[in-house]
Every structure is written in C-alpha cells, then in structure tokens.
Amino acid sequence: MRRRVVLVDDHDLFRAGVRSELGESVEIVGEARSVAEAVPLIRELDPEVVLLDVHLPDGGGAAVIAQVALERPGVRFLALSVSDAAEDVIGVIRAGARGYVTKSISGPELVDAVRRTADGDAVFSPRLAGFVLDAFRSGEAAVDPELDVLTAREREVLQLIARGYRYKEIAARLHLSVKTVESHVSAVLRKLQLSNRNELTRWAAQRRLI
C-alpha cells in the first residue's frame, strides 16, 4: 500500500532528491516550502504522513504541527532535518512529531520510517535516542515518576538505538517481539511529549546558553 505523503521543505533540491528516492514506494501528494504554504495544503489533502523540515523560512516544523494537529488528528508528522541542535529536535518532537531522522538517511530507510510513522509508531534515529537519553538523564526525584522517568527497559532500548541497532535487531537481542520494542519506543515518545518536567526545559536551555 502506497502511503500518501506531503513533503514540506524549503530546499527545492532536497525535495527533488526525496521525491526520486521515495518515488515508487510512497505517493507524494503535495509539496510545500513554508509554514504558510504547508498549513492549508495539509488541511486540504489530509495525508497520512507529513515529512517536515525542522527549519522553515517563516517558522519551524513545530509551527506547522501546532496549526494542523488538532483538526487533523490522523495526520502524522516525521521531522527531517540537517539540524543537530538538540533543542530544535526535541522542540519539534514535543510539538507532536512522531519521530526525527537526519537528511543523510538512505532511501530505503526513509521509506521504512514513513511506513512506520503512518502506522503510528515512533521513529527514533540514533541521534534522537542520544538526545532523549541526555534529556532524561537520571537527576533529582521527579514529580510524576509515572511520566517523568524512563523505565530500565526503555532506557535499554534507547541505548541500543543510539548504538545503531534497528528495531528488529533490538528485539532479537532483548528476546522481545518487534511489536514490544515499538511500544517501548512509543512510550518514550509519549513521555517526551507529555512530560512537563522542568529538567527537559532546563536541559534545552543549557545547551543553548553555554
């Protein structure tokens, strides 16, 4: 089944590259190069997945999600960026993206990530896993332990992602099903999005300031 995808990125060359790489496997139904273009387009097309650049000329990917997510709950966002700035990446995830991959990702991996996103799974690149581990670094006791602390298993899964393991490899190594691995990653994503832990904000702020 070909997924319906909208591609939001202000670099024409990059959009052309993604189009040719995804070509057969997914259906790119629309393209936009700014927040202002993307919002009405996504409302109109109601795609399954939006491939979203973290940085756009008139705002960020987070702005697109903020304006669309409530009225189009079925649309899922996958952040795609060259940016390594932790606060940008965490920012777009906190806004509601289902995952983050770098633009250097290979074609087949991107197709896989799109499929995963469309299925409602979380897509963590090694780098994102590193950021999240850093952000949830064991610190002082959290207010809401249910939300604010990663379980040992979740931490283990994230560490394996950071080490470059794919979900299938993680499942084999931890003697779990791939589905279970996916649900652990989704749980981490939920914690990341719902946690109002001050530490997250402080962590991001520190990285900007120092």
Told to check if 179 binds other proteins by CB under 8 A, we report no
Which residue in the set 11, 19, 115, 207 belongs to the binding site for other proteins (CB under 8 A)? 207
* Angle at which helices 61-68 and 86-95 cross, to 10°: 10
79 strand-pairing partners: 52, 100
Q: How far apart are CA 51 and CA 6, in angstroms?
A: 6
Contact status: 65 vs other proteins (CB under 8 A): no
The one segment of 36-44, 46-54, 64-72, 125-133 that binds other proteins by CB under 8 A: 125-133
Q: Which of 67, 83, 117, 195 binds other proteins (CB under 8 A)?
A: 83
Residue number, 67 or 83, with CB nearest to other proteins: 83
Taking the least distance from each CB to other proteins, the nearer of 194 and 205 is 205
Interior angle at CA 164, CA 137 and CA 107, nearest 5: 125
Q: Measured on CA atoms in the order 175, 178, 179, 182, is the torsion positive or negative?
A: positive
Phi-psi region of 110 (alpha: psi -120 to 50; beta: other; left: phi over 0): alpha
Q: Judge contact between 203 and 85, C-beta under 8 A.
A: no
Among 30, 126, 199, 201, binds other proteins (CB under 8 A): 126
> Which residue in the set 12, 44, 84, 119 belongs to the binding site for other proteins (CB under 8 A)?
84
Minimum separation from the CB atom of position 102 to other proteins (A): 9
Site of interaction with other proteins (CB under 8 A): 82-85, 126-127, 129-130, 133-134, 137-138, 159, 162-165, 206-207, 210
